[in-house]
């Protein structure tokens, strides 16, 4: 991502692909992804925020490098917290202290956050949440940075969908198993 870090991008992409391909639990995947990104890209912190469709708030699914005070600073409104990243695509903020798109600028400054990259997590045109990278030093995110993080966000969307689908499939099997004892086999039904 940063100058001279291209190798890390490929290593990071490979590590995250491995995490995702062996995923069976959404919480574990999210925690591993944010931890991997924070370490590999030398970030202040990273978070996956999922959209609660009822309250229209972004809820923390996983984070790394951010204090509990910052994470619980108040509700993150999808209508106030870097809204453009949910509506228009990735948003890079160079200076959080001087940007009206930040819902809690004082909390960000107190946390030592200088810059934020917010990338939507989308699946089939539907916003599931955002992947946010937080830096301690001002960081002018390049198109390469944004494209890299967008690819990770797409992978997260796929794993969230895969886990949801797998859970629905397992639930269907469980329902069918509970129905089995009350249903007579076809062969027995034909003999009566």
pLDDT in tens, the chain (192 residues): 454 454 447 777 788 888 777 766 777 888 888 998 999 889 999 999 998 888 888 899 999 999 999 999 988 877 777 776 777 889 999 999 889 888 899 999 999 999 999 999 999 888 899 999 999 999 999 898 899 999 999 988 988 887 666 654 455 455 555 555 544 555 555 555
Report the CATH number that the domain containing residue 68 is assigned in CATH. Answer: 3.30.450.40
Q: What is the model's pLDDT at position 111?
A: 96
CA 149 to chain CA centroid, Å, is 11
Q: What is the model's pLDDT at position 93?
A: 93
Q: What is the model's pLDDT at position 178?
A: 55
Bridge partners (DSSP) listed for residue 122: 127
Q: What is the model's pLDDT at position 174?
A: 53
Residue 179 lies in a domain: no
Q: What is the model's pLDDT at position 175?
A: 53
Residue 93 lies in a domain: yes
Residue 134 lies in a domain: yes
Q: What is the model's pLDDT at position 188?
A: 57
Q: What is the model's pLDDT at position 158?
A: 86
**Best CA proximity match to 93, nearest among 108, 79, 78, 77:** 108
Residue 177 lies in a domain: no
3-state secondary structure of 92: strand
pTM strictly above 0.75: yes
Radius of gyration of the chain (CA): 21
**Residues of the domain holding 99:** 6-163
Sheet holding 126-135, edge to edge: 76-77, 57-64, 45-52, 126-135, 115-123, 91-93
Residue 159 lies in a domain: yes
Bridge partners (DSSP) listed for residue 115: 135
Domain count, the chain: 1
Distance CA 140, CA 95 (A): 9
Distance CA 127, CA 40 (A): 26
Residue 176 lies in a domain: no
Q: Are strands 91-93 and 76-77 parallel, antiparallel or unpaired?
A: unpaired
Residue 175 lies in a domain: no
Residue 69 lies in a domain: yes
Q: How far is CA 91 from CA 25, 40, 142, 170, in A?
A: 29, 21, 11, 37
Sequential DSSP letters for 95-134: -GGG-TT-S-HHHHHHHT--EEEEEEEEETTEEEEEEEEE
Residues 6+ apart with CB under 8 A from 63: 34, 45, 46, 47, 48, 71
């Amino acid at each position: 991502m940063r100058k001279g870090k291209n190798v890390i991008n490929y290593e990071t992409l490979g590590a995250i692909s491995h995490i995702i391909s062996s995923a069976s639990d959404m919480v574990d995947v999210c925690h591993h992804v944010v931890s991997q990104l924070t370490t590999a890209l030398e970030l202040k912190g990273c978070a996956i925020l999922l959209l609660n469709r009822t309250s229209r708030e972004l809820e923390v699914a996983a984070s790394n490098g951010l204090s509990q005070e910052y994470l619980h600073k108040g509700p993150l409104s999808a209508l106030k917290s870097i809204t453009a990243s949910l509506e228009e695509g990735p948003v890079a903020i160079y200076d959080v202290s001087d940007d009206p798109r930040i819902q809690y600028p004082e909390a960000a400054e107190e946390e030592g956050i200088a810059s934020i990259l917010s990338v939507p997590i989308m699946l089939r045109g539907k916003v599931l949440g955002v992947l946010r990278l937080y830096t301690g030093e001002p960081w002018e995110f390049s198109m390469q940075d944004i494209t890299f993080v967008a690819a990770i966000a797409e992978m997260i969307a796929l794993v969230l969908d895969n886990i949801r689908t797998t859970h629905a499939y397992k639930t269907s099997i469980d329902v069918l198993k509970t129905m089995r004892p009350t249903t007579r086999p076809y062969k027995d039904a034909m003999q009566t």
